[in-house]
A and B are shown apart, each in its own frame.
Chain A
Amino acid sequence: MKSIDTKKEYLDYVDKKSPNSPILKNCFNAFWVGGLICSIGQIIFDFCQYKGLDSTSSSTVVSIILIGIAAFLTGLNIFNKIGKFAGAGSLVPITGFANSIVSPAIEYKSEGYVMGVGGKMFTVAGPVLVFGISASVIVGIIATFFV
């Protein structure tokens, strides 16, 4: 191997040397776990409609139940294991959002309820909220005036 002297040569070399994530396996696991979570959501949704709820209320019930389950599993130190296995499969559905709020709340409880739990609860989910809400405002404005 020839000598490496510049930063660029070194960064190219590091790129070659660093192992890649097992993308196919990760995609497959994300696909079926994500699908399973959404299927569970659909089952709850259908059950709500069968019991006579309208579709808006049924959607709300689905969100509440999935968030509740994800938050509960986060507290039991189980959700991080699912997340490690499934990646985006458990992150993208609303379960990932619940986990991203509950996990810092647990972690920072040691700094107190106000500055710890309260102050740090949105450290992970904060960007999602800011850009998610901003995007929905923009889409809302476009829909109001142009659709």
Chain B
Amino acid sequence: MKKIGLQTIKLDFCPYILETSSIVGPKEAEGPLAKYFDQCLEDEFWGEKTWEKAESKIIKENVTALVAKSGIASSDIDYCFAGDLLNQCISSCFGLRETNIPFFGIFGACSTFVEGLCLGSIFVDSGAAKNVICATSSHFCSAEKQFRFPLELGNQRPQSAQWTVTGSGAAMLSNNNLGRPCPRITHVTPGKIIDMGVKDANNMGAAMAPAALDTLVTHFKDTGRKPSYYDAIITGDLGYVGKEILAELAETKGYNIKNNYDDCGVLIFDKEKQDTHSGGSGCACIASVFSGYFYQMLKEKKINKILLIATGALMNSTSSQQGESIPGIAHAVAIENLDS
């Protein structure tokens, strides 16, 4: 494992993504990717009394399902990296308190899933761990309650607003593929905090796009790769507004990504039928779409090389009310089928 260029780490062993698991809520289950998710919930409460408890249950059940699917005994899992959007990451902490796995709570807003993949793959690559879980969750109702207004309030959302995904995605990284062909993480590009002065909390895509651009361009410069090297370049939750901005800005920097670029926030909902305005957002957006859809595409070798860039808006409701701008961040991992 060594650092190449400005901020990319080239992994030597390249940890396997042994298994993934995803759970999504009822609205996501009506979206175009429904058939790829492991479990679709019928209601947002899932038998719990509060939104927060429901979100904890989602990540708990998802991690339990991941461990069962992977075939690895939970005593053989060395560490878990997880985080979410609720204050002090209570969904992950409460949901995973009974797992008995050493736990790193991480916060990168909606970039948390890939932040976990970055850290987890470095742990496995260095030999510090054999098996690592990276998980995250978000819940539309708990996020609305914390960041915006009560659900029953009769207000209108701007066209650039995004819809927080209810669900969870989790991945098991391992130094052993147990004889199964698995995609592997080859490069890690942690991102910098970039703030271009966007203050509108209803336009997160525009706030985060410059961070995604910075990480994208840095990744290409550090690795010497071109956009065409990848079968798919996927961002987390820039939505329709941010996706267009990133594609255009990348072109001004000399990188044409229009042919193989897409965004999980755009993919997860049907904008017209589901009235989700600029698309999906939240930690679970990229986590569930990668764990559900893209992991399956990689396993079936329909795509072999993917650059996964998760974007996060590092703000809270207090900073917004105090008129602060929204700093963005984006972390990237290159995931490849090395045996193809």
A interface with B by C-beta (< 8 Å): 1-4, 7-8, 10-11, 13-14, 17-22, 26, 74-75, 77, 79-84, 86-87, 90-91, 96, 99-100, 102-104, 106-108, 110, 124
Contact = CB atoms under 8 A, between A and B. Distances in A.
Contact of A79 (B152, B197, B278): B152
Contact of B159 (A19, A87, A104, A106): A19
B150 A106 contact: yes
Contacts of B251: 1
Interface stretch (B77-85, B127-135, B175-183, B241-249): B241-249
Contact of B154 (A11, A22, A96, A108): A96
B6 interface: no
B153 interface: yes
Contacts of A106: 150, 152
B281 interface: no
Contacts of A90: 154
B10 to A, nearest CB: 29
B206 A91 contact: no
B245 A124 contact: no
A75 to B, nearest CB: 8
Given A18-B159, A18-B203, A124-B153, A11 B196 contact: yes
Interface in B179-214: 196-198, 203, 206, 210
Nearest to B248: A1
B327 to A, nearest CB: 12
A20 B252 contact: no
Contacts of A86: 154
Given A4-B249, A124-B150, 20 more contacts: A3-B253, A7-B197, A11-B198, A14-B206, A17-B244, A18-B206, A18-B241, A21-B158, A26-B156, A74-B154, A83-B153, A83-B156, A84-B155, A87-B156, A90-B154, A91-B155, A96-B154, A103-B152, A106-B152, A124-B153
Contacts of B253: 3
12 contacts: A2-B252, A3-B252, A10-B210, A14-B206, A17-B206, A75-B152, A79-B154, A80-B151, A80-B152, A91-B154, A103-B153, A110-B51
Interface of B: 49-52, 145, 149-160, 196-198, 203, 206, 210, 241, 244-245, 248-249, 251-253, 278
Contacts of A21: 156, 158-159
Contacts of A99: 152-154
B154 A20 contact: no
A17 B246 CA distance: 11
Given A1-B248, A83-B156, A17 B151 contact: no
A87 B158 CA distance: 11
Contacts of B153: 80, 83, 99-100, 103-104, 124
Contacts of A87: 155-156
A66 to B, nearest CB: 14
B324 to A, nearest CB: 14
B150 A103 contact: yes
Sort A-B residue pairs by CB-CB distance and give the 8 closest, nearest first: A83-B154, A107-B150, A103-B152, A19-B159, A103-B150, A7-B197, A110-B50, A103-B153
Most buried by B among A4, A74, A81: A4
